Amino acid sequence: MWPFNRKTQAEELALFSGALRRALGHPGCPVCRLVRESEERWIWTLLYEYTGDPRTHATFSRTLGLCSYHAWLMRRVVEGRRLMTPSGVARLYETVVRELKSQLAFPRRKRDGCPLCSYAVQTGERQAYFLARLLEGEEWRTAFSRSQGLCWPHLRALLPHAAREVRGWVIRDFTRRLESLERDLAELQRKQRYDVCEGLTPGEAGSWREALWRLGGMYYDRLVVGDDV
**Does 70 engage in binding with Zn ion (CB under 5 A)?**
yes
Sort 221 into a burial class: Cβ within 10 Å, 0-12 / 13-18 / 19+.
exposed
Q: 78 near 151, Cβ under 8 Å?
A: no
Q: List the x/- string, 17-56, binding to Zn ion by CB under 5 A.
A: ------------x-xx------------------------
Assess whether the previous peptide bond of 30 is cis (omega < 30° from 0). Answer: no
Output the smallest distance, CB 111 to Zn ion, in A: 13
Q: Which is nearer to Zn ion, 42 or 188 (CB)?
A: 42
State which of positions 173-212 bind Zn ion (CB under 5 A).
none
Q: Which is nearer to Zn ion, 29 or 166 (CB)?
A: 29
Q: Which is nearer to Zn ion, 120 or 188 (CB)?
A: 120
Residues of 62-100 as b/e, b for ≥16 C-beta within 10 angstroms? ebebbeeebeebbebbbeebeebeeebbeebbebbeebe
Distance CA 208, CA 210 (A): 5
Output the smallest distance, CB 119 to Zn ion, in A: 9
Measured from the Cβ of residue 144, the count of other Cβ atoms closer than 10 Å reads 20
**Does 116 engage in binding with Zn ion (CB under 5 A)?**
yes
**Does 170 engage in binding with Zn ion (CB under 5 A)?**
no
**Does 67 engage in binding with Zn ion (CB under 5 A)?**
yes
Distance CA 203, CA 211 (A): 11
Q: Which is nearer to Zn ion, 70 or 126 (CB)?
A: 70
| Stretch near Zn ion under the rule CB under 5 A, chosen from 6-14, 117-125, 202-210, 220-228 | 117-125
Task: Write down the number of H helices and E strands in the chain.
Answer: 11, 0
**Does 155 engage in binding with Zn ion (CB under 5 A)?**
no
Total residues contacting Zn ion (rule CB under 5 A)? 11
| Footprint of Zn ion (CB under 5 A) | 29, 31-32, 67, 70, 114, 116-117, 151, 154, 217
